[in-house]
């Protein structure tokens, strides 16, 4: 043990006699270690940590592919598909629609345009969200004949309503439409990797006026316990034929068009859909930065 202490003291004395060498050594190591730490922090936050929802492994994004349409992009979820999937599936606990929006809020201080999120009544419960105040949307809120309602984001509730705990039941005008505030979202809630919405609004669909198609709503579902992704894909494939039988094609299109489009299910784990192609890039970057650290250590050894 004493020999190690003597060697350490000798090293420190040598470093003290060569301040330039010491500075270059420390800077080289600091750059290599700092870069690796920064990249690993990003990888840990994006790729390694689980999504901030209960049982995130059960969450999937519901997409489609139209194999009969050359060069077609992946399709989201159509309202007609949504109703059939929700009512006749065998593999989902529930399924929901959502879409990004922007809303004009008036009647509370100065008018302002704020980010909004439109959701069906099942979307937020699928993510396991519990409101900070009040309640979330239910089946009545998404009916066209129901009174208009809204849920506030936590930060917006603090800023616009001064954290008033009696905000539930108050009226606010959104896009020139009076809406009753029914809830406030929890403080740390994040919807995927999107900008934090100031207000959440219910998606209201009139089922008897829907046609096939209109694949413009992203869909999210929670699998039943023990159900695999392959089983869910097969289940959606089974229901696609039911959708074609249950709804008429829109004016100007025929049923044959949808049959020839050969629409097929394309379900993805929610993490994969959120991260996308960034995961591969981050791992490559981590490998490159690790190589930089090795070079830095080799340079220090040469010095």
67-126: per-residue pLDDT in tens? Answer: 888 666 789 999 999 999 999 999 999 999 999 999 999 877 788 999 999 999 999 999
The pLDDT of residue 222 is: 97
Q: Take residue 141 and report the two structure tokens written for it.
A: 């809120």
The helix-helix angle for 278-302 and 19-43 (nearest 10°) equals: 160
Per-residue pLDDT reduced to its tens digit, 124-158: 999 999 999 999 999 999 998 889 999 999 999 99
Nearest residue to 176 via CA among 120, 107, 114? 107
pLDDT at 48 over 70: no
The pLDDT of residue 15 is: 59
Q: Which has more pLDDT, 57 or 107? A: 57
The pLDDT of residue 17 is: 67
Q: Take residue 26 and report the two structure tokens written for it.
A: 């420390």
Confidence of residue 162 (pLDDT cuts 50, 70, 90): very high
Q: Take residue 188 and report the two structure tokens written for it.
A: 């740390």
Q: Take residue 33 and report the two structure tokens written for it.
A: 């270690």
The pLDDT of residue 45 is: 46
- Kindly state the average pLDDT of the residues 163-185: 95
Confidence of residue 18 (pLDDT cuts 50, 70, 90): low
Per-residue pLDDT reduced to its tens digit, 19-41: 766 666 667 666 666 655 655 45
The pLDDT of residue 278 is: 47
Tell me the CA distances in angstroms from 200 to 61, 77, 163, one per residue in order.
20, 20, 17
Phi, psi of 126 (to 5 degrees): -60, -35
Confidence of residue 293 (pLDDT cuts 50, 70, 90): low
The pLDDT of residue 47 is: 43
The pLDDT of residue 107 is: 77
Tell me the CA distances in angstroms from 153 to 67, 196, 297, one per residue in order.
39, 8, 49
C-alpha angle 71-74-257 in degrees, rounded to nearest 5: 65
- Gyration radius of the chain's alpha carbons: 27
The pLDDT of residue 188 is: 87
pLDDT at 64 over 70: yes
Nearest residue to 99 via CA among 265, 268, 219? 219
The pLDDT of residue 292 is: 58
Tell me the CA distances in angstroms from 197 to 153, 185, 301, one per residue in order.
6, 10, 52
The pLDDT of residue 273 is: 74
Confidence of residue 46 (pLDDT cuts 50, 70, 90): very low
Per-residue pLDDT reduced to its tens digit, 236-288: 999 999 999 999 999 999 999 999 999 999 999 998 876 654 445 544 555 55
């Amino acid at each position: 043990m004493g020999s190690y202490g003597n060697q350490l003291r000798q090293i420190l004395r040598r470093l003290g006699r060569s301040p330039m060498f010491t500075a270059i050594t420390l800077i080289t190591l600091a750059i290599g270690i700092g870069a690796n730490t920064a990249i690993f922090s990003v990888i840990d936050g994006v790729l390694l940590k689980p999504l901030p929802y209960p049982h995130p492994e059960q969450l999937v994004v519901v997409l489609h592919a139209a194999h009969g349409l050359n060069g077609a992009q992946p399709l989201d979820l159509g309202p007609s598909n949504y109703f059939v999937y929700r009512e006749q599936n065998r593999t989902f606990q529930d399924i929901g629609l959502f879409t990004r929006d922007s809303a004009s809020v008036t009647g509370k201080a100065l008018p302002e345009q704020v980010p909004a999120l439109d959701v069906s009544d099942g979307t937020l419960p699928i993510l396991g969200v519990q409101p900070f105040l009040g309640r979330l949307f239910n089946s009545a809120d998404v009916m066209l004949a129901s009174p208009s309602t809204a849920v506030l984001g936590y930060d917006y509730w603090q800023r616009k309503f001064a954290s008033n705990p009696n905000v539930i039941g108050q009226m606010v005008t959104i896009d020139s439409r009076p809406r009753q505030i029914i809830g406030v979202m929890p403080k740390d809630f994040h919807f995927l990797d999107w900008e934090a919405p100031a207000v959440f609004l219910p998606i209201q669909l009139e089922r008897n006026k829907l046609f096939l198609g209109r694949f413009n709503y992203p869909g999210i579902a929670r699998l039943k316990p023990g159900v695999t992704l392959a089983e869910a894909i097969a289940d959606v494939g089974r229901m696609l034929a039911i959708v074609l039988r249950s709804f008429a094609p829109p004016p100007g299109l025929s049923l044959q068009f949808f049959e020839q489009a050969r629409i097929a299910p394309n379900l993805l784990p929610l993490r994969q859909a959120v991260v996308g192609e960034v995961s591969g890039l981050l791992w490559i970057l981590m490998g490159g930065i690790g190589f930089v650290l090795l070079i830095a250590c080799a340079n220090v050894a040469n010095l």
